[in-house]
Amino acid sequence: MAIRVQIYLFQILFLVFVVSAERSDTRFLLTSNASSGERHSEEYCVMYDICGKRSDGKVLNCPYGSPSVKPDDMFSSKIQSMCPTISGNICCTEAQFDTLRTQVQQAIPFLVGCPACLRNFLNLFCELTCSPNQSLFINVTSVSKVNNNLTVAGIDFIITDAFGEGLYNSCKDVKFGTMNTRAIDFIGAGAKNFKEWFAFIGTRAAINVPGSPYAINFRPSIAESYGMKPMNVSAYSCGDTSLGCSCGDCPSASVCSDYAPPSIHIEGSCSVRIGSLKAKCIEFSLAILYVILVSIFLGWGLFHRSRERNPAPIMKPMLNVMDGSELHSTNRPKDENLSSQVLEDVPQLRNGVQLSIVQGYMSNFYRRYGTWVARHPTIILCSSLAIVLVLCLGLIRFKVETRPEKLWVGPGSKAAVEKQFFDSHLAPFYRIEQIVLATIPDANGISPSIVTENNIKLLFEIQKKVDGIRANFSGSMISLTDICMKPIGQDCATQSVLQYFKMDPRNYDDYGGVQHVEYCFQHYTSADTCMSAFKAPLDPSTALGGFSGNNYSEASAFIVTYPVNNAIDKEGNETGRAVAWEKAFIQIVKDDLLPMMQSKNLTLSFSSESSIEEELKRESTADAITISISYLVMFAYISLTLGDSPRLSSFYISSKILLGLAGVMLVMLSVLGSVGFFSAIGVKSTLIIMEVIPFLVLADEKTLLNPVLNLVGVDNMCILVHAVKRQPLELPLEGRISNALVEVGPSITLASLAEVLAFAVGTFIPMPACRVFSMFAALAVLLDFLLQVTAFVALIVFDFLRAEDRRIDCIPCIKISPSYADSDKGIGQRKPGLLARYMKEVHAPILSLWGVKLVVISVFVAFALTSIALCTRIQPGLEQKIVLPRDSYLQGYFNNVSEYLRIGPPLYFVVKNYNYSSESRQTNQLCSISQCNSDSLLNEIARASLIPESSYIAKPAASWLDDFLVWISPEAFGCCRKFTNGSYCPPDDQPPCCASEGGSCNLNGLCKDCTTCFLHSDLYNDRPSTAQFREKLPWFLTALPSADCSKGGHGAYTSSVELKGFESGIIQASSFRTYHTPLNKQVDYVNSMRAAREFTSRVSDSLKIEIFPYSVFYMFFEQYLDIWRTALINLAIAIGAVFVVCLVITCSLWSSAIILLVLAMIVVDLMGVMAILNIQLNALSVVNLVMAVGIAVEFCVHTTHAFSVSSGDRNQRMKEALGTMGASVFSGITLTKLVGVIILCFSRTEVFVVYYFQMYLALVLLGFLHGLVFLPVVLSMCGPPSRCVLIDKREDQPSPASQL
């Protein structure tokens, strides 16, 4: 994604000719003088006429002095049109002037956008060639004989530094839009000052090498004895009002002073310094808050302790009746030994639990439902399974979505809409196939240079194999040339250093081997031999990696990029042909090239456009073994947990292996039913659904395997089984089933509803993969709950009937004699285990100590506040390599791209509905040449490129509009031309004006009568009329660039303008291309997108023109622009939903508020752990955080409920709650969840290890610590009142049924 290189730099054929012409032909124009006895005076020439040619065709001037001559009127007018500083006599012949005109026309398109620069540039060569006072500042220093004629071989050009400085300053910032760079890079070889520019111009070139045919020595002065003086023509400033340039070409102009580049905004700059310690403001604020909170807590603790020292009343209220309950509170002695005294007075009362209204209704329902199920288990089992199996029929339409844009991009996203607009109105971004060949670092970590003879020849071998790839598509054999981009001609626009040899290995030795490559690194814009096969210069930064600055020879990697044509229709033949070739490409790289590179001690990484999609498909089977193991582990764990303590005499009957297996099957059916339902309605599944939901559902089913009452959780199987076991054996089975459902039914409902709501909140997340996953997961959990209160209850009935009938567990057809199977006796009379005794006798008393409470509160509050501070360091994004299998070849590719790439992705500024009519101001609001608005779009882009650290814009934009306006300009007389019949006339160096195979161009041939399209009088303020714009724009877009006119738009701008319907005066879509700075981190991509959108929004509002930025990666990173907002909103909804469910079912605001506090702390602490582990914030982590709310409920609700139904003071109730629930929370929730989480550690896909194993492991540990350490302390200090009451004793009411 980051290697979208300069593919559209096709029209820079010019640089081969311009720079060669400007360094050579324009320099030969500078010579016209006599050899010996020359005079240096006004109106005298030192170089007049042409006396010969070099073997490469470059003409040479005569070194003969003569008086200046007066031209005829026609010739004089021609000179005045280009050289207004020269009047009267001249020192050049018409042939010399025509040659001058022919050569400078190649440079004019580069400079015409800045009239001051162009005028200074033309004055330099006009004065040298035709000035009547030529002898005053030109001195011939050497001559040579050509065909028996003396010709100029070297001259001194006396010119003031002031003119040189003025010339350079007026031109140094002028842009060449097509290449997104400065014009000086082409006509001055990137000179840093005027002396370097003059040195470049004055160097005598070798035969067939671009440059001057003779040496020019620019000198600021000469001895007075010579009678010479410097050229005295004044240089125009680019800020000159009469020849003013745009702000983009002349930032120093006074008109641009009000538009200085904005200062760089540094985020998070707020900090506080205390001595040598520097902290962020938020960290400092939280530290102060912590001190305040701890101080308040200490003060409250001391006050409370002082009150405890006073005698307390023996009798105290047990319950403040809540919510208008009609039950009255009773008094109970503080000393448990006194309880019998009260009971003696009220023999018809006993201890009970006050149920909320909702719990009462649910208990009545489950009582009747449980009795009916116990009497009709077959009907319930068959009907529930039938419904789920009907849902499973939807699997017939099951499909898996693997297209990245469909997985990670919302269909209504702004970026997706913009991409669709760009693709449909302009052109889809090309497909990328890429190879990265790199050297291996030595022992010191330094990578050797890749630019060696052996490596270049090896690259030719690689290219030969790639060229030989043939892929079968519908019976046709597809090669690279069939699908590659061909901007001009029939050559692929491959980005490779081999382009410096025209992709032909036979040119390697002819061109000079490695030395030629290193030469091209510095002269890729000027040397003809460095021109690519597809007739455009190749920027070394697009084909090399691992270098610093411009030290290309130190590069440690070759980057070979094959741009391939793309299509909007992803299912069409064009895409199919490309995908077929890409598969063959990947296969040959794996089979042939990779082993070859390893034997050469080089690394090779590679990728194709379809690689990610193909690897995601492979990922679907990568963890099949892990999933299978997880089901086996769950089956074994559930079977052991459901059964009784193993006793050899009754194990065959008391075990629950068959019931456990049935439970696992129900879990699988719930998943399949969910997938089947959504498949039936046309929702495609994702790989996350296929791999994560089984983990989650199984983990949830196995983690809450507690034999005690729960208010939250999905440990329904074990809860139900153990609830039935706790019922008195003297009751009939239907009574035990009914009582068990009354006891745990409301708890199961609350837990499942909270879990379903937590998952359902995830459907608000815009990323399709996570949204669909949340939908599937919510329905799977709901179906799992329904199956367990229906089918699983029926299976419990069958299993207990089997046990009572003394039948073997796994072979129920075999009965055991009564002596072997008293399996269910003694259930409920088991002694407390070691863990339960530890919780009640060690853990709880320790937490009751005030010193321990102080430490616990201080530590947990400190960690929570620290986590809040750490949350600010969580970075948005999702590394691509994370979502791929660990053994994917793309892992190495992404690493190498991040390490070696030195160029950023292309960035397009797309303008919608551009009104080009002469009545509109939008042309000047967009362009950046002379007469354009100083705050125009392109000028603003140029300014933004000056601060790439904050704008992430690397360079000014390539502008089709600027180049079009230059192309039709009368000054660019070699560009827009017409025949006498009004049709388009190409430049003189193109057919039909010139032979197509490099033959000579006859200026007196077919195109001799061609004239420029417009005169200055035809234009209004150098702008075309509506009709002129409409007529000439298609000409421009079909014009080929060449040496005579580098501004032709074909290739570079073919897809930059939509011509459909443009005749109305409105261009519906057009784009201006630039590049982002290199983006190596996910946060860089996010920030660059945010910066581009903020920039575009500001400019669009200012200009009142609809503009938007587009880059290929925007669609995938848009979600991260407001991921924090999405996360906080979803978390607030999830926590709020759980709070409301708890409040509605328990009718206890106090308990619900404590649960809310603990949930919030667990989530905040989990985000702190994310920051510590460098886990990024994305849709996956947001879904996990939302799910963590539902799962974290299980760690706190059980203890809170046990505390509320216990009697005594808060410390006593906390001890009792830990004694009854502590062991269950630790063994039944914490340990069992750890088993499920640890399985994820063995996943072959990094995304599950990072976003599920690490995050869920942290969640389990945080839930354990908060549920068994922090929560008990909070309850012992400010827990809710007890719900224990004394109620009438009813003989017909089963005792356990009311205790919930």
pLDDT by residue (tens digit) across 726-771?
A: 778 888 888 888 888 887 777 778 778 877 887 788 787 777 877 8
Average pLDDT of the chain, as a whole number:
79
- pLDDT above 70: residue 1073: yes
65: burial class by Cβ within 10 Å (0-12, 13-18, 19+)?
A: buried
318: helix, coil or strand? coil
The answer for residues whose C-beta is within 8 angstroms of residue 288's C-beta and 6 or more apart is: none
| Residue 45, H or E segment | strand 44-45
Residue whose entry in the numeric block shows the structure tokens 């320099």? 27
In tens, the pLDDT along 380-434 reads 999 999 999 999 999 888 887 767 677 777 767 888 899 989 999 998 989 999 9
Residue type at 430? Answer: Y
- pLDDT above 80: residue 1001: no
In tens, the pLDDT along 1169-1207 reads 999 999 999 888 888 888 888 888 878 877 887 788 778
- pLDDT above 70: residue 826: no
* Distance separating alpha carbons of residues 105 and 1207, to the nearest angstrom: 100
* Backbone phi, psi, residue 1295, to 5°: -60, -40
Contact 638, 901 (CB under 8 A): no
Q: According to the model, what pLDDT value does residue 1167 have? A: 95
Q: According to the model, what pLDDT value does residue 351 have? A: 53
pLDDT bracket for residue 68 (50, 70, 90): very high
Taking the alpha carbons at both ends of the chain, their separation in whole angstroms is 58
* Distance separating alpha carbons of residues 674 and 1291, to the nearest angstrom: 45
1061: burial class by Cβ within 10 Å (0-12, 13-18, 19+)?
A: exposed
Query: For residue 916, which of 1028, 1020, 1037, 1067 has the smallest C-alpha distance?
Result: 1067
| Residue 914, H or E segment | strand 906-915
30: helix, coil or strand? coil
From residue 272, alpha-carbon distances to 268, 278, 282, 284, 921 in Å are 12, 6, 9, 7, 50
Contact 797, 614 (CB under 8 A): no
- pLDDT above 70: residue 20: no
Contact 967, 1050 (CB under 8 A): no
Burial 372-399, CB ≥16 within 10 A → b, else e? ebbeebeebbeebbebbeebbebeeebe
More confident residue, 901 or 998: 901
Q: According to the model, what pLDDT value does residue 183 have? A: 81
In tens, the pLDDT along 912-939 reads 999 999 889 999 999 988 888 888 999 8
Q: According to the model, what pLDDT value does residue 455 have? A: 93
Q: What is the 3-state secondary structure (H, E, C) of 237-296?
A: CCCCCCCCCCCCCCCCCHHHHHHCCCCCCCCCCCEEEECCEEEEHHHHHHHHHHHHHHHH
| Residue 545, H or E segment | strand 544-545
Instruction: Please name every residue paired with 908 in a beta bridge, in sequence order, or none if there are none.
Output: 1073, 1110
* Backbone phi, psi, residue 850, to 5°: -65, -35
* DSSP result, 917-964: STT-SHHHHH--STTS-TT-HHHHHHHHTT-HHHH-B-SPPB-HHHHH
Query: For residue 481, which of 358, 381, 577 has the smallest C-alpha distance?
Result: 577
Residue type at 849? Answer: L
Pair type for strands 557-564 and 544-545 = antiparallel
DSSP H helical ranges for 309-409: 339-345, 357-375, 377-392, 404-408
CA 726 to chain CA centroid, nearest Å:
55
From residue 84, alpha-carbon distances to 87, 168, 244, 1028 in Å are 7, 20, 18, 28
Burial 941-959, CB ≥16 within 10 A → b, else e? bbbbbeebebbbbbbbbbb
Hey, what are 392's tokens?
Answer: 């499973």
More confident residue, 808 or 726: 808
DSSP 8-state class, residue 498: G
Mean pLDDT, range 769-783, rounded to an integer: 83
Pair type for strands 215-219 and 149-158 = parallel
- pLDDT above 60: residue 699: no
195: burial class by Cβ within 10 Å (0-12, 13-18, 19+)?
A: middle
- pLDDT above 70: residue 152: yes
Q: According to the model, what pLDDT value does residue 926 have? A: 94
* Distance separating alpha carbons of residues 1146 and 322, to the nearest angstrom: 10
Query: For residue 384, which of 954, 69, 981, 792 has the smallest C-alpha distance?
Result: 792
Mean pLDDT, range 214-243, rounded to an integer: 82
* DSSP result, 1226-1242: IIIIIIHHHHHHHHHTT
328: burial class by Cβ within 10 Å (0-12, 13-18, 19+)?
A: exposed
Q: Interhelix angle for 716-725 vs 791-804, to 10°?
A: 40
* Distance separating alpha carbons of residues 696 and 755, to the nearest angstrom: 11
Mean pLDDT, range 1157-1169, rounded to an integer: 94
Hey, what are 1060's tokens?
Answer: 């459909």
Sign of CA dihedral 755, 758, 763, 769: negative
Query: For residue 954, which of 1078, 1093, 1113, 1049 has the smallest C-alpha distance?
Result: 1078
The answer for residues whose C-beta is within 8 angstroms of residue 595's C-beta and 6 or more apart is: none
Hey, what are 90's tokens?
Answer: 């001249």
Q: Provide Rg for the chain, Cα atoms.
A: 42
Contact 528, 16 (CB under 8 A): yes
| Residue 350, H or E segment | strand 349-353
CA–CA–CA angle 1186, 397, 580 (5° rounding)? 95
**Other CB atoms within 10 Å distance of the CB of residue 113:** 29
* Distance separating alpha carbons of residues 209 and 56, to the nearest angstrom: 9
Q: List the single range of 659-663, 784-788, 1255-1259, 1286-1290 with lowest mean pLDDT.
A: 1286-1290
pLDDT bracket for residue 651 (50, 70, 90): low
* 689-691-695-697 Cα dihedral, nearest 10 degrees: 30
Instruction: Please name every residue paired with 272 in a beta bridge, in sequence order, or none if there are none.
Output: 279
**Other CB atoms within 10 Å distance of the CB of residue 1066:** 15
Instruction: Please name every residue paired with 216 in a beta bridge, in sequence order, or none if there are none.
Output: 155
Cis before residue 63, ω within 30 degrees of 0? no
* Distance separating alpha carbons of residues 132 and 46, to the nearest angstrom: 10
| Residue 859, H or E segment | helix 850-871
Q: According to the model, what pLDDT value does residue 534 have? A: 86
Q: According to the model, what pLDDT value does residue 591 have? A: 92
Contact 777, 696 (CB under 8 A): yes
CA–CA–CA angle 470, 476, 480 (5° rounding)? 40
* Distance separating alpha carbons of residues 1156 and 698, to the nearest angstrom: 26
Hey, what are 8's tokens?
Answer: 């559209």
Q: According to the model, what pLDDT value does residue 273 have? A: 67
Strand order of the β-sheet with 215-219 is 138-146, 149-158, 215-219
Q: List the single range of 29-43, 207-221, 667-681 with lowest mean pLDDT.
A: 29-43
In tens, the pLDDT along 436-455 reads 999 999 888 888 999 999 99
Query: For residue 188, which of 167, 208, 161, 209 has the smallest C-alpha distance?
Result: 167
1286: helix, coil or strand? strand
In tens, the pLDDT along 963-994 reads 899 899 888 878 898 888 889 999 887 888 87
